[in-house]
Structure formats: C-alpha cells, structure tokens
C-alpha cells in the first residue's frame, strides 16, 4: 500500500461512517414514529373516552333534572295523600331508577309512600327509620337551597348477602304561600347507571360509580376479556353530594395506521437520501454565494451606519423604501415607522405640507433634479424643526430602469448654530465697541460739562448774594427760590456726571445710609414738572418708620428718575383717558426680608427695602419683555436703549435685583431692592 492511498481510504471510511450514522438515524426515526403513532392512537382513544365520560355524567345529571321536574308536577295534580298514591305508582313504573317515593311533612312524619313494583319491599330487610339521618340531611340542604338536594349514598342490604347503594333526593313541596313538607325519592345507583345514560355510549364499555380512592359503589357493566383497558373519570356534581363516575373501554391493538406510516416514512427516508446527495452540491455552491452576499451586505451596512448623512430611498409613487440610521436619528422615528409611508411625509411641518406637496409633484413628474441640492425644513417626532440640505438622484435598478429616487440629507442645525454664534459674537463685539464709545463720550462729557455747571452754580450763588441787598418783595422771593433751585440742580448735575464717570471707570462707589423719602424728594421737582405737562397725577407712598437704605444716593436717584420717566412716557396723552382715574404714576417703598444670608454668625435673613414704580400704560408684549434689558434695545424713536440696562447694573452693584411684572388692571410695575442701612454689604 502506497502512502498516497491512505488519505483516500480515510476519506472513504469517514464517508461510510456518515452513511452508517444516517441509516441509524433513519431506523431510529422509524422506530420513534411507530411509537409516537401508537401513543397518538392511545391518547386519541383516551381523549375520546374522557369526552364520553363527561357526556355520560351530563346525561345522568340531565335525567335527574327531568325527574325533578316530573316530581314537582306530582303534587300539583295530587294535592292530598290519598290522591297522591296513584300518580306516584305510575311515576315509579316509568322510572325504574327510583326505588321509593315518600311524602313527608315538615317534621319528617310520613304522609304517604310507594315502592317500585320491580323490586321487593325495601323495608323487609331493615327498618326505614334506620336511614332517616341521610334523608334529613338531604331535606335540610333542600330547605336551605329552596330546591332539590341529594344525600350521600349508603348501602342497603338484601337477601342472599347482597345489597345495593341507595341515595336520597329531597324536594320541598310548596303550595302558594304555604310549605307542604318534602317529597323524598330514593334512587338506586345501579338504576341511575342503567336507565339515564345513552345506550350508544355504553356499548362494549364498563360503567360504575366509585369512591375517590377507587372503591366501587355501583356497577352497570364491565369490559369483557382480560386485555388492558383505558379508563376515564368524571364528576357528577349534584346539589348536596358529588359522585365519581368511571368509564372503561378496551384498548385497541395493532391497526393500519402505524404500518402505513412506517411504510410511508421508509419510502420518504430513502427518497430523502437520494435528494440529499443532489442537494449537497447545490448547498455548497449556495453557501459560497450567500457568504459573498453577506460580506457585501455587511460592508455596505457598516458604511451606512458610519455615515452622518441621512439616506432615504423612495419609489416612483413617493413611498419610502429605505432609510439609514442617520436619517432615523434626524427625524426621531424608527425605520418601521418610516418605511412604507407616502405623502405627506411624517417629517414635514404641518404648515408647509402644501408647499412640499407641490415640490414633490415636480420631483416625481420626472423633471430634472437639482444635483447641487436644495435646502428645506424637517420636523422631528417631538415637534422641533431643523434645517436640512437635500441632494436627490434617480434610483436605477440592475436592468437600467428607474425605480425611484435616492436622497442624501444633511442636517444643517450645527452649521446654523455656528453661524448664529458668529453673528452673536459680531453683535457683542459691536455692542462692546459702542459701550466703549459711550464710556469715552461719558468721560468727555463729564470733563466738558463740569466747567459750565460750575459757572452756572457760581452765577446762581452770585445772584443770590446780589438779591440780599434788594428789598423784600414777592418777586425777590420767587427769584431767590429759582436761583436756589438752579444752584441745587447744577450741583446735582455735577454729582450725576461724577457718578457716571466713576461708574464707567469702575471706581469704588461710596454707599451711605439714605432715607427712602429723601431719594424721592430729590427727584420730585423734576417729576412734578413732567407730570404736570402730561396731565399725570404723581402719587408717593412711603410708610412711616421705613428703614434707611445703604446706597450711592446719586445713582439710585437716577434709577428712580429713569423708571419714573419711562412710566410717564408709557402713558401718552389721552391713554388712559383722564376720566378713567388711571393716569397715575405711583412711587412706593416697603420693607421685606429676602436673600438668605450664609455669613458665619450672620442673621438667618437680610432686611431689604423694596421700591416700586407703577404706571397704567398699555403694558409690554412678550417680545419686548424678552429684550427689555438688552443694551441698545429701545422702543422709543429717540432712545439709545441704555437706560434700563444701566439701571439694572446699578441695582445689582448694590446687591439688589430689578424686575418687572404686569400691573392691574393695566400697566407695568418695576421693582428693585436695596439693602437696609443696618447691614453692611460684604466686599
């Protein structure tokens, strides 16, 4: 033997082993199928026997129910014991399963009784009174149920050492509005088995009543022969008692079905062996082709899953046939929710459906597609909108026929966000430049205006000195008061300019205790002039004993003045009307406790004073409120948009907060808080 022959022999040996294993498996399959066929036959016979046992129990229960109906009619035609005897005899002749009928009163005293003519007198062996407990038990149950009730079975001995199982059925006898006692029917269990079930169900079968442990109580028939038999049990549930019914049937042996099945399976097994040889070669070829296709699909799937560009394929009818994970993530829907959907698409915003429908009609009509792409707006499943760039191309199949359109979708949200950030940065740079310009202007104005203001104050002081030599007249008093006001306002203007310059240069501000009333009094003359001009009533509410506030007097006066002027300008002449009583500007203050203090050893809460300026204008829209404190935003034709922004900055530098809310019945309330003078702000 040459060494080259060894591999061939090993291959043939392995092949014979495979064939031997295959034949062994076929033989085992035949044996298992024959066994399963026999088990199937037995299971089918057992199921049929259990169904017949249930039917027998149903027949007996139905027969007892019919007997109850017959017994109920007995007293309707025979109201007295004497007239009752003859119908009872006829009933016993028609129903052999009933051994005895008794009519007893409510105390179980016997009124009338009849025995079946087909058996000897039962009382000849034992006294009837010995079995009254079973009867009374049934009658007590019947009294509670207001219907028929059965007692437990008991053995009644007979001549020759024999006997039978009996069972009492007690039925209440009721006349209209008056109980008449009980009707007691004594059933024999063998009679129930012989008379009540259908005859077709008992052919060549055994039927018996048994105890739960298998002890036989009554027997009607048995299975002939010594072969093995099948048995099925069914419960006969009666009012007051339950019996176990047992039905037996001989087990069938042999049969055509297993033999035919074996032959068919054998032929099919041989055919299978022949077909396996033919399919082996084809299976190997198919496995190679499937492996190549699977690798190609896996490669394409990996590319699609790695894309951030959404891909969507549609048929010529507009229905979606394919989506990739990136597109599903864009619109927030699963592939199952997208594939198969038509127009309108679920990612279209509702208000743009008509526009998109027209655009898609042009696309689906076969017109030239914009290969450079076009922008659109999609809607996610949560309702949010986002911009996209769509590039579409025809979808061509292997035969060169267009079957639809392939779209590439780019989410422009991040690009738009970057563009918005760049634009916001430019706006902030411009705003910063304008603020720097405003700071330079403030410094220049503070430098240039100091000398004119000092000259005004000097001239006012000189005029006052000259007026001292003028005799006292009303005109002199008015001129002196006017010059004094001019001097005070000039000095105040100087302080304002100095405070603004310090504010712009971020110098440390000097905070001092100031009474809230003095803050209002300082700006009251200016407010009174403007209020008189506009026909507005100025109202000041300062409660007595309110704490002084720790602040920069000049800057807070400017905040109050700015808010009050804004409130007056919010109430132009004629709105609200003069007669409505709403042309009122209210300045008020109150003490409050806000802002928990976490300083070691400090009070639990800080004492603050809240100022409020209330107007009754038309109020502000939501768009205006959103940009109210934005620098350079203004609703006035001549405004710069810096007033409220500077006011908030001043209040926040004092540690307080400036906010606003709607007033009732109309208008706006601006509130800001300042610390009480008893508390020193931390540096």
pLDDT digits (tens, 9 = 90+) for 523-561: 888 888 888 888 888 999 988 888 899 888 888 888 898
What per-residue confidence (pLDDT) applies to 603? 45
pLDDT of 123 strictly over 60: no
Which of 316-320, 519-523, 550-554 shows the lowest per-residue confidence on average (mean pLDDT)?
A: 316-320
Q: Rounded mean pLDDT of 633-651? A: 75
Neighbours of 506 (CB within 10 A): 9
Give the count of alpha carbons within 13 A of 245, CB side only. 30
pLDDT of 506 strictly over 70: no
CATH of 510-675, one of 2.40.50.140, 3.10.350.10, 3.30.565.10, 3.90.245.10: 3.30.565.10
What per-residue confidence (pLDDT) applies to 607? 87
Q: Rounded mean pLDDT of 643-662? A: 86
**Distance in angstroms (rounded) separating the CA atoms of residues 207 and 55:** 13
Residues 6+ apart with CB under 8 A from 112: 81, 82, 84, 85, 88, 102, 103
Q: What is the DSSP letter of 403?
A: E
Residue corresponding to tokens 């709105």? 575
Q: Rounded mean pLDDT of 387-394? A: 82
Q: Rounded mean pLDDT of 201-205? A: 78
Peptide bond into 609 cis (omega under 30): no
What per-residue confidence (pLDDT) applies to 321? 82
Confidence of residue 148 (pLDDT cuts 50, 70, 90): very high
DSSP line for 3-54: TTHHHHHHHHHHHHHHHHHHHHHHHHHHHHHHHHHHHHHHHHHHHHHHHHHH
pLDDT of 567 strictly over 50: yes
Where are the domains positioned within the chain? 55-250, 307-411, 414-507, 510-675
Q: Is 25 exposed, middle or buried (0-12, 13-18, 19+ CB in 10 A)?
A: exposed
Residues 6+ apart with CB under 8 A from 266: 30
Residue, of 66 and 434, whose pLDDT is higher: 66
**Distance in angstroms (rounded) separating the CA atoms of residues 61 and 200:** 17
Give the count of alpha carbons within 13 A of 677, CB side only. 12
- Compute the mean pLDDT over every residue in the chain, rounded to the nearest whole number: 78
What per-residue confidence (pLDDT) applies to 625? 80
Which of 513-527, 534-548, 610-624, 640-654 shows the lowest per-residue confidence on average (mean pLDDT)?
A: 640-654
What per-residue confidence (pLDDT) applies to 594? 58
3-class DSSP state of 157: strand
* Among 682, 681, 658, CA closest to 512: 681
For the structural domain made of 55-250, what CATH number should be given? 3.30.450.20
What per-residue confidence (pLDDT) applies to 670? 93
Q: Rounded mean pLDDT of 440-444? A: 61
Q: pLDDT digit string (tens) for 85-119?
A: 888 888 888 888 888 888 888 888 888 888 888 87
Phi–psi pair at 283, nearest 5 degrees: -65, -40
Residue corresponding to tokens 């007691």? 184
What per-residue confidence (pLDDT) applies to 681? 45
pLDDT of 124 strictly over 70: no
pTM summary value: 0.39
Q: pLDDT digit string (tens) for 153-191?
A: 888 877 666 778 888 899 998 877 677 888 999 998 888
CA 381 to chain centre: 16
**Distance in angstroms (rounded) separating the CA atoms of residues 362 and 359:** 5
Question: What percent of the chain clears pLDDT 70, i.e. is strictly above it?
Answer: 78
- Token digits for 42? 């037995």
Residues 6+ apart with CB under 8 A from 498: 446, 554
What per-residue confidence (pLDDT) applies to 596? 45
Q: What is the DSSP letter of 538?
A: E
pLDDT of 371 strictly over 80: no
**Distance in angstroms (rounded) separating the CA atoms of residues 525 and 521:** 8
For the structural domain made of 414-507, what CATH number should be given? 1.10.287.130
What per-residue confidence (pLDDT) applies to 647? 86
For residues 93 and 117, the answer to whether their CB atoms sit within 8 Å is yes
Residue, of 112 and 75, whose pLDDT is higher: 112
What per-residue confidence (pLDDT) applies to 135? 86
CA 422 to chain centre: 41
Q: Structurally, what CATH architecture does the domain formed by 307-411 represent?
A: 2-Layer Sandwich (3.30)
Confidence of residue 610 (pLDDT cuts 50, 70, 90): very high
pLDDT of 248 strictly over 90: no
Confidence of residue 261 (pLDDT cuts 50, 70, 90): low
Alpha carbon distances (Å) from 447 to 290, 442, 458: 89, 8, 18
Confidence of residue 673 (pLDDT cuts 50, 70, 90): very high
Q: pLDDT digit string (tens) for 451-503?
A: 677 777 777 777 877 777 777 777 777 787 777 778 777 777 776 676 666 66
**CA quadruple 192, 194, 200, 204: dihedral sign:** positive
Residue, of 150 and 447, whose pLDDT is higher: 150
Confidence of residue 599 (pLDDT cuts 50, 70, 90): very low
Residue, of 259 and 25, whose pLDDT is higher: 25
- Matching fold, domains 307-411 and 414-507: no
Going through 308-355 in order, the beta strands assigned E by DSSP cover: 310-315, 320-323
**Of the spans 227-231, 402-406, 648-652, which averages the highest pLDDT?**
648-652
């Amino acid at each position: 033997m040459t060494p080259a022959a060894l591999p061939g022999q090993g291959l043939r040996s392995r092949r014979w082993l495979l064939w031997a294993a295959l034949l062994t498996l076929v033989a085992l399959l035949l044996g298992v199928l024959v066994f399963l066929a026999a088990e199937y036959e037995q299971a089918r016979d057992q199921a049929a026997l259990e169904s017949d046992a249930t039917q027998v129990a149903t027949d007996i229960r139905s027969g007892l129910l019919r007997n109850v109906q017959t017994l109920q009619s007995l007293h309707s035609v025979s109201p007295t014991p004497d007239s009752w005897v003859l119908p009872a005899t006829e009933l016993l002749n028609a129903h052999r399963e009933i051994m005895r009928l008794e009519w007893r009163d409510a105390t179980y005293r016997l009124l009338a009784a009849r025995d079946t003519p087909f058996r000897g007198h039962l009382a000849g062996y034992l006294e009837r009174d010995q079995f009254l407990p079973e009867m009374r038990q049934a009658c007590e149950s019947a009294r509670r149920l207001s219907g028929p009730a059965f007692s437990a079975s008991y053995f009644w001995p007979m001549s020759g050492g024999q006997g039978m199982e009996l069972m009492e059925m007690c039925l209440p006898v009721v006349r209209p509005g008056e109980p008449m006692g009980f009707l007691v029917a004594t059933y024999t269990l063998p009679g129930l088995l012989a008379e009540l079930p259908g005859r077709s169900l008992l052919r060549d079968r055994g039927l018996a009543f048994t105890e739960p442990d298998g002890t036989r109580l009554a027997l009607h028939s048995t299975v002939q022969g010594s072969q093995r038999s099948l048995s099925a049990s069914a419960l006969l549930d009666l009012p007051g008692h339950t019996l176990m019914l047992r039905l037996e049937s001989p087990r069938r042996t042999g049969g055509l079905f297993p033999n035919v099945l074996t032959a068919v399976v054998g032929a099919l097994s041989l055919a299978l062996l022949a077909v396996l040889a033919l399919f082996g070669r084809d299976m190997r070829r198919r496995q190679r082709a499937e492996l190549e296709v699977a690798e190609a699909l896996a490669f394409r799937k990996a590319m699609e899953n790695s894309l951030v560009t959404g891909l969507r394929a549609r048929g010529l009818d507009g229905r979606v046939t394919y989506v990739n994970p990136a597109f599903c993530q864009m619109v927030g829907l699963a592939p199952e929710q997208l594939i198969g959907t038509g127009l309108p698409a679920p990612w279209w915003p509702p208000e743009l459906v008509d526009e998109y429908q027209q655009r898609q009609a042009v696309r689906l009509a076969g017109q030239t597609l914009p290969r450079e792409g076009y922008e659109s707006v999609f809607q996610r499943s949560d309702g949010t909108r986002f911009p996209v760039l769509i590039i579409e191309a025809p979808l061509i199949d292997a035969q060169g026929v267009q079957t639809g359109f392939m779209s590439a979708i780019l989410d422009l949200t991040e690009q738009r966000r970057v563009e918005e950030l760049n634009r916001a940065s430019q706006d902030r740079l411009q705003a910063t430049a304008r603020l720097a310009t405003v700071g330079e202007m403030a410094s220049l104005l503070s430098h240039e205006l100091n000398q004119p203001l000092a000259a005004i104050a000097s001239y006012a002081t000189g005029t006052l000195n000259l007026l001292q030599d003028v005799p006292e007249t009303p005109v002199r008093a008015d001129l002196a008061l006017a010059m004094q006001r001019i001097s005070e306002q000039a000095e105040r203007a100087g302080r304002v300019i100095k405070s603004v310059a310090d504010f712009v240069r971020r110098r440390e501000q000097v905070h001092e205790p100031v009474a809230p009333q003095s803050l209002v009094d300082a700006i009251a003359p200016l407010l009174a002039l403007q209020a008189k001009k506009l026909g507005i009533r100025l109202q000041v509410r300062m409660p007595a004993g309110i704490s002084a506030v720790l602040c920069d007097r000049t800057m807070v006066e400017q905040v109050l003045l700015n808010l009050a002027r804004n409130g007056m300008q919010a109430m132009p002449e004629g709105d609200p009307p003069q007669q409505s009583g709403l042309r009122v500007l209210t300045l008020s203050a109150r003490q409050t406790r806000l802002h928990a203090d976490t300083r070691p050893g400090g009070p639990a809460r800080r004492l603050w004073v809240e100022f409020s300026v209330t107007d009754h204008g038309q109020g502000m829209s939501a768009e205006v409120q959103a940009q109210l404190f934005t620098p350079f935003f203004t609703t006035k034709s001549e405004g710069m948009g810096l007033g409220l922004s500077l006011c908030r900055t001043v209040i926040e530098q004092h540690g307080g907060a400036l906010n606003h809310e709607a007033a009732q019945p109309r208008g706006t309330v601006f509130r800001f808080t300042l610390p009480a003078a008893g508390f020193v702000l931390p540096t």
